[in-house]
Amino acid sequence: MCGRYALALRPSEVRHQLEQAQMPVDETPADDAVRQSYNFAPGYHGLVYRADGPGHGGATGETKYRLQAMQWGLVPFWTKRNPDYGSKIKTINCRDDSLIEDRGMWTTMKKKKRCIIVAQGFYEWLKKGNEKLPHFTRRKDGQLMCLAGLWDAVQFEDSTKKLFTYTIITTDSNKQLNFLHDRMPVILDNGSEAIRTWLDPARTEWTKDLQSLLKPYHGELECYPVSKDVGKVGNNSPSFLVPINSAANKNNIANFFGNQKKMANNKAEERNDGTVKVEHDVNEPRATTDRVEGTEDNAPLPIPVTTGSQISEEPKGIKREHSEAEDDSGTAAAEPPQKMQKPASSAKNTASPRKTPAKKQGTRSATSNGSAAKTSKGDGSQKITSFFSK
């Protein structure tokens, strides 16, 4: 079984490595046409290496080899509508024993549509009780891993473009990986005769020679546990390729206690000679910044006060004059500076304008709710009772 692998290289980088392994590449997709991921999942567009013979794919005269972007999860050419994700995930792998007989959905692909899936390595999960521990397997020599596969192209009824998809062929696990799973992907050696035979476009019938290539890999591999974070599709980090117990892994508990011991030793050295020994951690992210030299944090730097701004903060309307006492060195040093006197209140210099009342009224108490004092009125405004009393 192979349900997740790693390919974080651009197509141009893959082409360079394949050509160094005597695997010619005549055509390469754009770098943005393929998903580069340390956690490559079904449904992603990966890199497939295949051959076109004369009359196939525009090739003329001789066999042409190409790197092509395809989607992981084979969709047969007779499919009418784009299947859902659940259907595609059922065809991410193809068992080698299902290809022996000349029947089934793989019949057409195994005869004319064989390919190589390029990877840096693959993941498998070890079941340990209720826990699943991810392991990463790669070639010990660090070369790319060439996995045997099949491809197909389909055009849906509601589409004008063809969709290219692929599947990875699996076989029995070898002795090294048998503890992990009973199945493993078919691995072919880079630049080998086995790859040329597998990709040969002139072989249009399924033969025992082709079937015999699908066997457990007996070359040197590395297999080790990695971070559980790789279990979540969408997570992507180069740390997924680092052994969980490696000194290069920051999550390693041994590294944690090792760093604690280093800190204790540094403190002891500081107490002994009064100096601090500064060491650089290779794994420490060191981002560049435009900070002013001498600062030790990321706080915003204060804006320096200019001469103009200092002057503008002086109280307006007060002119500071040169005092003759300041010229006298004998008294200037002995007497403290005099505080600046406040200007006289404007109320003493100029009386504030007051409105002249139209009529003179008596004083009314501020604490009494009584009515206002009555004013004398002329005879024409006397009460009528006063008139009758006369």
Report, as residue numbers or ranges, the catalytic residues: 2, 124
Helix (H) or strand (E) holding 197: helix 193-199
Distance of alpha carbon 11 from alpha carbon 324, whole angstroms:
85
Taking the mean position of all CA atoms in its chain, how far away is CA 255?
25
Taking the mean position of all CA atoms in its chain, how far away is CA 47?
23
Taking the mean position of all CA atoms in its chain, how far away is CA 369?
77
Distance of alpha carbon 353 from alpha carbon 350, whole angstroms:
9
User: Which residue, 175, 262, 264, is CA-closest to 220?
Assistant: 175
- Residue 231 · residue 134 · CB < 8 Å: yes
Please name the amino acid found at residue 71.
Q
**Hey, which residues does 267 pair with through a beta bridge?**
none
Q: What is the DSSP string of 103-156?
A: -STTHHHHHH-EEEEEESEEEEEEEETTEEEEEEEEETT-PPEEEEEEEEEE--
Strands of the sheet with 37-40, listed across from one edge: 37-40, 5-7, 121-128, 131-139, 221-225
- Residue 55 · residue 26 · CB < 8 Å: no
Where do the DSSP E strands lie in 34-104? 37-40, 45-52, 64-72, 93-95
- In the structure, how many helices (H) and strands (E) does the chain have? 10, 13
Residue holding tokens 């249009």?
204
Task: Kindly give the pairing relationship between strand 64-72 and strand 163-172.
Answer: parallel
Cα separations (Å) of 86 from 43, 73, 92? 10, 10, 11
